[in-house]
Structure 1
Amino acid sequence: MTTLLRTPLFDTHRTLGARMVPFAGWEMPVQYPAGILAEHRAVRTDAGLFDVCHMGEFEITGPDRNAFVQRITCNDVGALEAGGVQYSAFLTPQGTIVDDCTVYRFEDKVMLVVNASNIAKDWEYVVSHKQGANVRIRNISDEVGLLALQGPRAEAVLQPHTETLLKDIGYYHFAIGKVCGAGCFISRTGYTGEDGFELYCRSQDVKAIWDALAAPGGAQPIGLGARDTLRLEVGYALYGNDIDDTTTALEAGLGWIVKLDKGATFVGEGSLKRQKTEGVGRRLVGFRMAGKGIPRHGMPTLVDGIAVDIVRSGTMSPTLGYAIGTTYLPVSHAKVGSKFQVEIRGEKHDAEVVKKPFYTGGSVRK
């Protein structure tokens, strides 16, 4: 039996009464006693605090660092200034997605943040593409602690604990400062559609920061269950569900992070140029159920009675009050308003393609 990894906050979660579950090789809190619905609403209306220490971080230094990251990611790192953050992806030569990632550009280095489930795979990918580049690549995942403070009151909760002026940090930008006296990268980013911050610190400093931010009057602890419903409402992709190594960035609606004209060759570029010229055969769509059925990952989706894909992500939306999901449909049936069916426990239920994001009322500052 494989031993599950634990974040520095494992004992804290247990003390708080969290229900712990296996996730990407880690033992993580799926929910706290308040429950997923209450946690979801706390982030939409107030402030929530997430333990995301399981995420992976790679540090790249050396004179070729920016050119190297240009080659292994599809977005344009050249468009980033120091203090800038960028959503991007690693691609296969066929243009399918190895992983989605976040790029942080510093004056003297680049940091790549990757999904917990893909740390080993991504590390192998990054190192295998070094190809003589004058860079040093370090897997700093075990050294870094990461908390996400999200919600319309996130800034108000965090500001008393840092001298950094949070109002001056723009969306998808970060500042180097201190939180509770500990060195941090304070990033105005998140996975919820709400305003908020992701705090990168030393792993040994995570507990003190968590305790300060989650103190009475502060943020409510939030588990993986609400993290998933929050991100789905705003249409953010989850690797392993909505995107994987069988889906291309263009099929997944991520063409906006593929910079075919950035002036640097990158892995998968040729395949995506061809696909852009020829067109995609399917698209990732958002849908809502017509009735009471709730779509779950893996359920068949059917067009004219023929299975075309599976539900990639699905839930009952706590904010909207109806069931939503994602699936890949043939381009001919991917337009808003198109009807298809989801097979739920052997019965076919009607669904309709709708515009993403499902929810647009978040407090995120863009």
Structure 2
Amino acid sequence: MPADPVPTEPVSAGPKKTPLHELHRELGANLVDFAGYLMPLRYKSETAEHQAVRTGAGLFDLSHMGEIFVSGPEAGAALDHALVGNLSPMAVGKARYTMIVAHDGGVLDDLIVYRLADETWLVVANAANVAVVRESLVERAQEFQAVVDDRSDSYALIALQGPRAQEILAGFTDAPLAGLKYYAIFAAPVAGADALLARTGYTGEDGFEVFVDAADAVAVWTALAAVDGVVPAGLSARDTLRLEAGMPLYGNELDAETTPYEAGLGRVVKLDKPGDFVGRAALAAAEATPPGRRLVGLVARGRRAPRKGYPVVTSDGSPCGVVTSGAPSPTLGRPIAMAYLDSGAGETGLAVDVRGRHEPVDVVALPFYKRS
């Protein structure tokens, strides 16, 4: 089998800046290097930012994400071959969560794919994986009449998330937002700028993701941020929001050593779709074999939060798993975590080894939080 592509990003003198960098500085954001970009970790209080999204509206800069366009008469067929999902039957204006895997079935990235027109698709990749996704798509599309075009540097992505998102966004667009279903997208002006407007998000709340030209980012952000009650939110709040919603993070719950089935996401793999796709044989074998581990939710009984990499142990102290993500939950008021448990491990009498101290936890179903 051919080798999977290796990232070929050019050597950089330092992290990139998003089109909104100067605004973040003016707002006093704590900026950190995340996936090669200077990104706001928090502005003032990550808990306040988290609660704003749960109760009102939070505004996120997601311009570090990758926007890769695939176009041509066989673009859909190329994506069917390159990804685990059955994308070509999607209607124009729809979106789908899917994955790109290696030949051995390990996840290279989880993606959202939008169909913008009959022969035009938008693949949104995680920032750290843009290079490998782009090079994989280029290599896998070679036998198809399809062109892969990475336009990540040309776009900014702004997310407005929370129960007030529709009400607030309606003040800046004539688009019929009430009729835009979850996981759908269309072109519409937002605050005077041409935009792609998607009803998607990574917080467990209703909300929208707005793709605009990088040159229009400041104007769009400024207009939305001026609305009373809209709170700029950083990576810390985004992480606790997605954790409460049980959403996987690449590099934590997903990586090249993990198959979709281990992560409890086998539903995104369409083994019965027409034609072959990269990783199909390995994934078919994985589906037929009980996984050696399973992803679960943990709620701590005490106040000490499990963190990524902490061991999960049985009542006698034997290791039986590992935490992949963990943090205090502002919504639940208790520490929570996601963890992989060994297939033979029970779900009672467990604890997490928090720096040498065994903290009891309860296993619960994911997600921890689901909006009404």
Residues 12-63 of structure 1, C-alpha deviations (whole Å, 9 max, x = no match): 0110111111111111101112x01100000000001000000001111111
The match for 1:69 among 63, 79, 83 is 79
Q: Is the 8 A contact 2:163 2:205 kept in 1?
A: yes
Equivalent in the alignment of 1:104: 114
Cα distance, 1:2 vs. partner? 4.0
TM-score with structure 2 length normalisation? 0.93
How much does 1:268 deviate? 1.4
Q: Percent identity?
A: 43
Say whether the 8 Å CA contact 2:322–2:339 is kept in structure 1. Answer: yes
Alignment of 1:86-235 (within 5 A): 86-107=96-117, 108-217=119-228, 219-235=230-246
The aligned residue for residue 367 of structure 2 is: 357
Match of 2:24 in 1: 13
Q: 2:357 aligns with which of 347, 356, 365?
A: 347
Instruction: Read off the aligned partner of 1:341 and give its amino acid letter.
Output: A
Amino acid of the structure 2 residue aligned with 1:171: Y
Partners of 1:167 and 1:249 in 2: CA distance: 33
1: distance between equivalents of 2:87 and 2:369? 29
CA distance in 2: counterparts of 1:305 and 1:265, whole angstroms: 45
- Give aligned pairs, total: 359
Q: How far off its partner does 1:341 sit?
A: 2.1
Structure 1 gap segments, 5+ residues each: none
Secondary structure at 1:197's aligned position in 2?
strand
1:328 aligns with 2:340: yes
Separation of aligned partners in 2, 1:333 and 1:75: 31
Residue 9 of structure 2 is matched in structure 1 by: none
Indicate the residue corresponding to 2:59 in structure 1.
Answer: 49
1:314 matched to 2:355? The reply is no
Shift in alpha-carbon separation, 1:138–1:36, aligned structure 2, 3 A: same
Map of 2:274 onto structure 1: 263
How far apart, in 2, do the equivalents of 1:50 and 1:264 lie?
39
Looking at structure 2, the residues matched to 56 and 78 of structure 1 have their Cα atoms a distance apart, in angstroms, of 21
CA distance in 2, matches of 1:109, 1:98: 23
CA distance in 2, matches of 1:325, 1:104: 30
3-state secondary structure, aligned to 1:77: coil
Q: Partner of 2:17: helix, strand, or coil?
A: coil
1:351 Cα deviation from its structure 2 partner: 1.7
Q: Structure 1 residues 78-87 or 338-347, which shifts more? A: 338-347
**4+ runs of 1 displaced by more than 4 Å?**
none
Secondary structure, counterpart of 1:119 in structure 2 = helix
Aligned residues of 1:157 and 1:218 also touching (Cα < 8 A)? no
- Structure 2: how far apart are the matches of 1:262 and 1:125? 20
C-alpha separation between the residues in 1 aligned to 2:318 and 2:141? 45
Question: Secondary structure in 2 aligned to 1:311?
Answer: strand
Matched residues in 2 for 1:79 and 1:227: separation?
32
CA deviations over 1:52-106 (Å, ceiling 9, x no partner)? 0000011111111000001111111134100000000001111110000100012
After superposition, the C-alpha distances for 1:85-132 in whole angstroms (9 at most, x for unaligned) are 000000111111000010001223011000001111222221221232
Give distance in 1, aligned partners of 2:16 and 2:349: 43
1:305 equivalent to 2:317? Answer: yes
Q: Within 1, Cα distance between the matches of 2:222 and 2:324?
A: 35
1:218 offset after TM fit, Å? 5.0
Per-residue deviation at 1:332?
Answer: 2.7
By how many angstroms is 1:274 displaced? 1.3
Q: Which residue of 2 aligns with 1:278?
A: 289
Q: Which moved more, 1:276-285 or 1:150-159?
A: 276-285
Contact 2:15 2:33 in 1 (8 A): yes
Alpha-carbon distance in 2 for matches of 1:11, 1:305: 50
- Whether the aligned pair in 1 keeps the contact of 2:320 and 2:345 (CA below 8 Å) is no
RMSD of aligned Cα (Å): 1.4
Give 1:165 shift.
Answer: 1.0
Contact kept in structure 2, 1:339 and 1:353, CA below 8 Å:
no
- Offset at 1:317? 0.5
Q: Secondary structure at the match of 2:237?
A: helix
Residue of structure 1 in register with 2:4 after alignment: none
Match of 1:244 in 2: 255
Q: Are the aligned partners of 1:184 and 1:200 in contact in 2 as well (CA < 8 Å)?
A: yes
Secondary structure of 2:76's counterpart equals helix
| Whole-angstrom CA distance in 1 between matches of 2:51 and 2:275 | 43
Deviation at 1:264, TM superposition (A): 2.9
Q: How far does the alpha carbon of each residue in 1:261-288 deviate from its partner, in whole angstroms, 9 at most, with x for none?
A: 1223211111121121122111111111
CA distance in 2, matches of 1:237, 1:198: 18
How far is 1:173 from its partner?
A: 0.5
Aligned to 1:267, the other structure's residue is in SS state coil
SS at match of 2:16: coil
- Secondary structure at the aligned position of 1:287 is classed as strand
Please give the alpha-carbon distance, in whole angstroms, between the structure 2 residues aligned to 1:122 and 1:343: 36
